[in-house]
Structures are given as C-alpha cells and as structure tokens.
Structure 1
Amino acid sequence: MAEENAPSFRDDVTVELVKHSAADTDVLFAARVSTRGEQSLDEVRKDPERSKGLLNYLMRDRHGSPFEHNSMTFFISAPIFVFREFHRHRVWSYNEESGRYRELQPVFYVPGRSRKLVQEGKPGRYVFLDGTDEQHKLVTEVMESSYRQSYAAYQEMLEAGIAREVARSVLPVGLFSTMYATCNARALMHFLSLRTKSEDATVPSFPQREIEMVAEKMEAIWAELMPLTHAAFVANGRVAP
C-alpha cells in the first residue's frame, strides 16, 4: 500500500460554520409581522436585547415558526455511523461526499480514552461505564487492525479495476466522511434536544457520544450567532418550539 494511503485514526470530529444568515432579530421581525405588518422590518435595525421577553414567550409557549427564518450551513467531518443518525433529521438539507465518484480516504474513528465503553441496563435506561485499560487497549488494537485490513481490500479492488461504488462495500462505518448540513434555528434546537445530554433539559435524552460531540460544537457556534435565542432555549428546558 502506498504511504499516502496509509490509514490514520481520529477520536474527534470537525464542525465548521461555512455561511449563515442567522441573528436574534430574524426571530423578532418574523414574530411581529402578525401585529405590525411591514413595520415589523424595523426590528432588523433595533437592539434585540429589548425584546428578550418576546423571545422567551415564543420559546415558552412553543410558537415555533418565527425561529425558521434564518439559515446556517455547517461543514462536518465525522464517522459514517454519525451521519446515519444525522439523516434522521429530515428537515435539514444534506450533501455528503460520494464513494461512487471519488476514492475514499483512509481516515478512521477510534474512541479516545475518555469515551465510555461499557453499556449496562435496558433500552431507555442505559448506563455507560468507563471501561478498563485492557478494554480500551483491545478496542484500539482490534479497530485499527480491522480498518487496515478493510482498506487494503478496498485498494486491492481499485487497483484491479473494480468500480469505486463496488469496492467501497468492504469499508466500515467507522470511516470518516464529510458533508454540508444546512438548517434553521428551529431544526437545530430539535436536533440539540435529542442529541445532547444536559441537566437543563426538561425531557432527558441519551445520545450516542459521537453525534453528541458534533452537536456540542454546533451549539457553541449557534450560541454566538443567536445568543438570546439560545439563552431562551436553555431557560425553557431545551425543548424545541
């Protein structure tokens, strides 16, 4: 196998904001059109701090549509199994790299030492424990060995002239993929309510750690773009309106 195609291993994810049209004022002018008509556009030029009460009211009473008049596009690099969960959020827009049209690069996910390994309990009541040093060593060694073997098989088929869309079948879901994901704040809040675990949440959630890593990075970015909306989301139990 050529050196440039040697597998590499990651225990993190990448989330970058590509572009956006998202601000707290987007919620306010959309909400006030019902009572002020075209004059509601004046909200774009006003300090949204003066309307924190309205934002909180909309969030608390679940008037959700004003939170849809904005847009955020993220670049995400994460294991394929994260994307399989991500795509259950159907009001998002997605474009992912294709194994039919490009040779997939050998970047694979191996859990870091902080990732809890042992699952106990019944569905809906799972508890995850740290795992022993021996278990972490086993996971690392077995995963890296399996990844190397599967990618070598993939390369062997490509070199024999097999189509990429056929050869990719041997690659595991621990392979990293990349995509653009676009959403509005209401869709993002729904995603965060399910894909993060927080003591502030009215309804508990039990996300897989790897998609939670993506969600945490997205939330940090969104909190800077729409700080008042984010604060109202947290204050009202992290329930999407």
Structure 2
Amino acid sequence: MTLTPEQEAEIAEARSQTRPTLRAVSEGMERRLYLAHPVLDHGLVRVIDYMGDDAAITQAARVSYGRGTKAVSNDEGLIRYLMRHWHSTPFEMCEVKFHVKLPVFVARQWIRHRTANVNEYSARYSILDREFYIPAPEHLAAQSTVNNQGRGELLEGEEAARVLDILREDAMRAYDHYEGMLSQEGQKGLARELARMNLPANVYTQWYWKVDLHNLFHFLRLRADAHAQYEIRAYAEVMCQIVKDWVPLAYGAFEDYRLGGATLSGKAIEVLKRRLAGEVVTQETSGMSKGEWREFEGVWG
C-alpha cells in the first residue's frame, strides 16, 4: 500500500489537532486514530472515529452514573461474565468507524454482515483508480478437493506464473477499456455508471464502515478464523489488533471465549461425558453425522 504525499499530509494534519473533551477516551485507540494500516497489496484499514471504552460496557451493564467500579478486576470479571453468557447490549454501547480500502470481491463478502452502516466510494460520480489485487505467490492455490469453499495445494512453477500473468493482463486490459469508454476525446464518452460494469472484481474500492462492538466481534469471530478466506482474514487480523488496543478487557474476553473457544452441541457434550466415564465412543455410536464427528475430532481428538 502506498499513500500519496497529499494523503499522508492530510493524516498528519488530522493527528496534529487535539481538542479537550469530557468524553471517555481510550488511550490505545487515540494512538490508532487516522493512521493507515496496510493490508494486502494496495488495501488499508484506519480508524476515523470511535465511541466508548471498556468502562462504557460495564457502565451500561450496571446502568450507573459513573465510569464503573474503581477496581479493574471487577470490571474485567463483569466483562468476562457478559461475554461468557452471550450478553450483547452492553457491547453495543461502543462503536467504531473504519475507513477501509479493499478489493470488490472482498467487499461483496464483507457486506453480508448487514449489521453496520456503510457508505462506499461511488463509481457513478468518480473514476476508480488503476489498482488491482494480485495475490502473492504463497496465496495462489488450487481448489480444495474436500471443501468446496476452500483452497488446496499451492500452484507452482509455470502454472502459477501463467495464472498471475492472466490476472495482471486481464485487469490492465479491462482498465484500459474502462478509460477508453470514459474518454471524451473525439467522442461523447460512456457514462461512469455504465463504464464501471466492465471492471474486474479485483479492482479496489473504498468505504466507511461504522459498527458497534457486539457486531464487530461477530464479524471478527467469523473472518479472523483460520478457515476464513485469506484476503478478508488479512483485514480482520489487522482490526483485531486495533480492537485489542481500544478495549483490552473486552478483547481479552472475546479472544478467550470466541476466538479460542468452542461451542458444543448436546450430542458432543454427551460424547465427552461418555469418554470421561471410560467408554470408547466412535462416530457410529455417537449419534453424530460424519461431518459433525469430523469437526468434533478436530477440536477434541
């Protein structure tokens, strides 16, 4: 990712201006404000604004007048209780607004999380930049033979080179045609809202994405997971580090109970009880389907 000198100057100016406030602020998030964190080859994530901190979560849970209890351990215990028991509204008291630059195909996956406010850069009014996502060789993989949604073995040698050449050439050709259709030199030029339809799904777009912490945790639980598609996971992992600085107590509970935890079905709990009692349980005697059993063994062996 490269920022223009003008963009870097704009960020520096925004960060140089400080204002007195009575609002609760997170020192960790203040250090993150406006900074552009690179993702993929041309993408970025940066925080534009936020509201609330760990104390806002506990304050809402207690419906108190102040900023919660004095003892951090009490607040941490309450936040862990709320996370452990799937309470949602206290976490909704915190909000954050991100500026994200991302490939269109990642945006289409991202937008399925319908619990946020989104305003995307409009190619009806503006002209998109000549920027495309081209995977690094270590992320160029064949289709998985066991998972219709996943990747398998890496492409290597001539096949990898051929695929990368196709991706680059098709993207550049499409953008050349996009510019050619827009041009008003010796012609009327096609409307921007029509010319954009010819661009490939790896062209970069940008948006502002505002979400509360509860729904952000849901997004991160799915998209920072090891099974998520690499490209959207790369964004989620950067956002995890930002959230960790913003609400360290809440993120610690989220990391423990969501990212590092596992949800068990009634059948899975029964199998564990039978195993602890010394019984040898197989898939055939577990009452689980082959898919359920495979996932159960992936966590519990």
**Structure 2 match to 1:197:** 225
**Structure 1 match to 2:7:** none
Contact 2:79 2:249 in 1 (8 A): yes
Contact 1:49 1:228 in 2 (8 A): no
**Structure 2 match to 1:22:** 52
Q: Does residue 123 of structure 2 align to residue 99 of structure 1?
A: yes
**Structure 1 match to 2:142:** 118
* Aligned residue identity for 1:171: L
* Aligned residue identity for 1:20: Y
In the aligned structure 2, how far is the partner of 1:213 from the partner of 1:75? 15
Cα drift, residue 116 of structure 1 = 4.2
- Partner SS, residue 109 of structure 1: coil
| Cα offsets for 1:73-112 (capped at 9, x unmatched) | 1111110011101111111111110110001111001001
| Cα offsets for 1:20-69 (capped at 9, x unmatched) | 11311111001012xxxxxx132258464431111111000111111000
| Cα offsets for 1:130-156 (capped at 9, x unmatched) | 221333312221111001110111111
**Percent of paired sites with the same residue:** 32
Counterparts of residues 33-112 of structure 1 (less than 5 Å): 33=63, 40-43=64-67, 46=70, 48-112=72-136
In the aligned structure 2, how far is the partner of 1:127 from the partner of 1:149? 27
- Partner SS, residue 78 of structure 2: helix
Contact 2:97 2:210 in 1 (8 A): yes
Contact 1:25 1:44 in 2 (8 A): yes
Contact 2:150 2:229 in 1 (8 A): no
Match of 1:151 among 172, 175, 185: 175
Cα drift, residue 194 of structure 1 = 1.0
Q: Which deviates the most, 40-49 or 185-194?
A: 40-49
* Aligned residue identity for 2:49: K
Cα drift, residue 117 of structure 1 = 1.2
Match of 1:177 among 196, 199, 205: 205
Q: Does residue 187 of structure 2 align to residue 166 of structure 1?
A: no
Counterparts of residues 218-229 of structure 1 (less than 5 Å): 218-229=239-250
In the aligned structure 1, how far is the partner of 2:229 from the partner of 2:224? 9
* Aligned residue identity for 1:19: D
In the aligned structure 2, how far is the partner of 1:55 from the partner of 1:221? 18
Larger radius of gyration between Structure 1 and Structure 2:
2
Compared CA separation, residues 46 and 21, structure 1 to 2 (3 A) = farther
Contact 1:24 1:48 in 2 (8 A): no
**Structure 2 match to 1:132:** 156
In the aligned structure 2, how far is the partner of 1:41 from the partner of 1:133? 64
Q: Which deviates the most, 108-117 or 145-154?
A: 108-117
In the aligned structure 2, how far is the partner of 1:61 from the partner of 1:135? 50
Structure 1 length normalisation: TM-score?
A: 0.84
In the aligned structure 2, how far is the partner of 1:18 from the partner of 1:179? 11
Match of 2:234 among 193, 213, 238: 213
- Partner SS, residue 98 of structure 1: coil
* Aligned residue identity for 2:201: V
Q: How many residues align?
A: 217
Query: Which structure has the higher relative contact order (CA within 8 Å, separation 6+)?
Result: 1
Compared CA separation, residues 172 and 47, structure 1 to 2 (3 A) = farther
Which ranges in structure 2 are unaligned for 5 or more consecutive residues? 1-39, 262-301
Cα drift, residue 171 of structure 1 = 0.3
